[in-house]
Amino acid sequence: MPYKLLEVDKKIPQRKNHVYVKHCSDPDDEIPDCNTKTVPGSMSERGCAFAGVKGVITGAIKDVIHVVHSPIGCTSYGYGTKRYPTTPDMPNGEKFPIENFNLKYILGTDLQESDVVFGGMKKLKKSIIEAHKEFPEATAIYTYSTCTTGLIGDDLDAVAKEASEELGIQVVAFNAPGFCGPSQSKGHHVGNLTLFENLVGTKEPLETTPYDVNLIGEYNIDGDLWIIKEYLEEMGINLLSKFTGDCSHDEICWMHRAKLSLVRCQRSATYIADLIEEKYGVPYIKVDFFSTKYCAENLRTIGKYFGLEEEAEKVIESRMEKVAPEIEFYKSKLQGKRVFIFSGGPKSYHLSKPLEEELGMETVAVASQFEHKDGYEKMKSRVKEGTLIVDDPNSLEFEEIIQVYKPDLILAGVKEKYLAHKLGVPCLLIHSYENGPYMGFEGFVNLAKDMYRNIYSPVWNMLEFEEEPAVGENTEVQEDSSEKQENKPENTGELA
């Protein structure tokens, strides 16, 4: 019985197929139902397609203006929500004049009732022109359809075209209104397609090298990309284009000139890698830089591709020398701790094995908000027998999983964090991180350290007042905490 109807789902039995317990005798393609509509009235953690395109894909680009064509809410909510830091460095060596421009501003059309009645295209056009006036330094303007503009039928492509001609800079429309598709995943797809169709192949890089790559699906959450960039550059590889962490609009325009694409987040960005391969013949490989093992493996693969094997080994060796003792320490502390990974997309499969193999933890459940079939296949292949795999869990399921699987730690988002706490379980933010970056060798140490901190935070031993404490409670000491930092290594690699 690999599919499981949780107690809390008795009234919504359609959830049964989304909840799967890994069993060795199942056929490989037996995985949770996924990428389907959420049950109305359940407390899903999913967001909408607009969040997928602006929040995930385009929000990381450093030099473009975002004009959200919506009533005020979508614009407000689209404001700098993710940890996507950027440098001001532009491909031509100049500096973009506004620091963290992508985090600092969001623009919108603030649609009113009359706009809904009479259409909002004129207002959008005016807004785009004003946006350009306000921020003439921006390289391009991106505009977004939303539920309202989708429903009233505003033609954003037409407005973008007009405005683009008038302003002489590129204006790109993203048509991913909130209601389209079952989750934010639809927005990723629209973002990929739109950027591919409108940008890729429209400009040429200032210079090229034989080692040019596109780093795709890496958004520089809390500085992840900067770590990977360092490794690749040390190996002699040039990041011709990033998609879209710390990237500029123009970089995307010349992605067709890379020798190879590396696809990091395979949920949100394989689309564009496929399209580029198809149209321009640039091959791609899927890469994984979470954990020391995956990171090393993938650097080797890349090194091999470019004949830079030795360089890859050097990077790996230098980093491992630094992180190995720390990982050893954290492993000794995290050994046997039960973890429930509830990621947005692929982190559930990126992390499940490394946490087990490199840190000795036990992955008792994995879940994802918006993964697709391929993601769940990977997830399943990387967890051990008996692990729970859930698609789009809702909050009651979340509670039941905690009750039944008794995790020592949950990796999830801020919406889930405080519910977990109320139930007495530490919860680490895995979407935008706590003290990241979490990628690469040093990042994996950061992750281990944050998990360690969360599990060993003394507060978890003091949850309840004790009328009659154990004899000597106030003087005796718990073995656990007295030992915990005994061999604690010096802090290293911490950015915060």
Partner 1 sequence: MSCVNVIEKDRNVIINPLKTCQPLGAMFAVTGINKGFPIVHGSQGCSAFVRYGFARHFREPSEIAVTALHEDAAVFGGRTNLVSGIENLALRFDPDVIGIITTCSSEIIGDDVYGFADTARGNLKEKLGEAADKIEIIPINTPSFVESHYKGYDNAINALVNHLARKDEPNEKVNIIPGIINPGDIRELKHMLASMDTDGIFLTDISDPFDAPLRPSKTKEIPYYPKGGTTIDELRDSANSLGTVSICKYAGSGATSLEREHKVPSAIETPPIGIQNTDQFVRNVSKFTGNSVSEELLDERGMLVDSMADNAARYLYGRKVAIYGDPDLTTGMARFVGELGMEPTMVCTGVKYPDFNPDMEKISKESGSDIDVLYGQDLRAVEVYLKENPVDLLIGNSDGRLIALDLDIPLIRMGFPVYDRVGYQRQSVLGYRGGLYLMDLITNTVLEKYYEPTHWKLQQ
Interface positions, 198-227, toward partner 1 (CB under 8 A):
222-223
Q: Closer to partner 1 by CB, 206 or 423: give it.
A: 423
Q: Closer to partner 1 by CB, 50 or 340: give it.
A: 50
Instruction: Count the alpha carbons within 13 Å of 234 in the hemisphere toward its beta carbon.
Output: 17
Single-letter amino acid, residue 58: T
Q: Closer to partner 1 by CB, 383 or 428: give it.
A: 428
- Cα angle 62, 141, 83 (rounded to 5 degrees) comes to 30
Please give the Cα distance from 437 to 447 (Å, whole number). 8
Q: Which stretch binds partner 1 (CB under 8 A): 48-56, 156-164, 234-242, 350-358?
A: 48-56
Q: Closer to partner 1 by CB, 286 or 338: give it.
A: 338
Q: Which stretch binds partner 1 (CB under 8 A): 79-87, 231-239, 258-266, 273-281?
A: 79-87
Is residue 35 a contact residue for partner 1 (CB under 8 A)? no
Local structure of residue 236 (DSSP, 8 states): T
Please give the Cα distance from 424 to 420 (Å, whole number). 6
Is residue 246 a contact residue for partner 1 (CB under 8 A)? no
HEC sequence for 78-109: CCCCCCCCCCCECCCCCECCCCCHHHHCCEEC
Instruction: Count the alpha carbons within 13 Å of 101 in the hemisphere toward its beta carbon.
Output: 27
State which of residues 30, 33, 73, 119 lies at the interface with partner 1 (CB under 8 A).
73
Is residue 411 a contact residue for partner 1 (CB under 8 A)? no
Please give the Cα distance from 371 to 27 (Å, whole number). 20
Using CB under 8 A as the binding criterion, the count of chain residues that bind partner 1 stands at 122
CB of 87 to partner 1, least distance (A): 12
Residue 301's closest CA among 347, 263, 247?
Answer: 263
Is residue 67 a contact residue for partner 1 (CB under 8 A)? yes
CB of 39 to partner 1, least distance (A): 6
State which of residues 175, 416, 439, 442 lies at the interface with partner 1 (CB under 8 A).
416
Q: Which stretch binds partner 1 (CB under 8 A): 8-16, 158-166, 242-250, 328-336?
A: 8-16
Q: Closer to partner 1 by CB, 318 or 457: give it.
A: 457
Residue list 133-192, contact with partner 1 (CB under 8 A): 134, 146-148, 150-152, 177-183
Residue 86's closest CA among 110, 107, 58, 111?
Answer: 58
CB of 452 to partner 1, least distance (A): 8
Please give the Cα distance from 363 to 389 (Å, whole number). 10
CB of 62 to partner 1, least distance (A): 12
Alpha-carbon separation of residue 285 from 215, 217, 260, 416 (angstroms): 10, 12, 8, 33
Residue list 103-122, contact with partner 1 (CB under 8 A): 103-113, 115-116
Task: Show Cβ contacts of residue 400 under 8 Å, excluding neighbours closer than 6 positions.
Answer: 6, 7, 8
Is residue 486 a contact residue for partner 1 (CB under 8 A)? yes
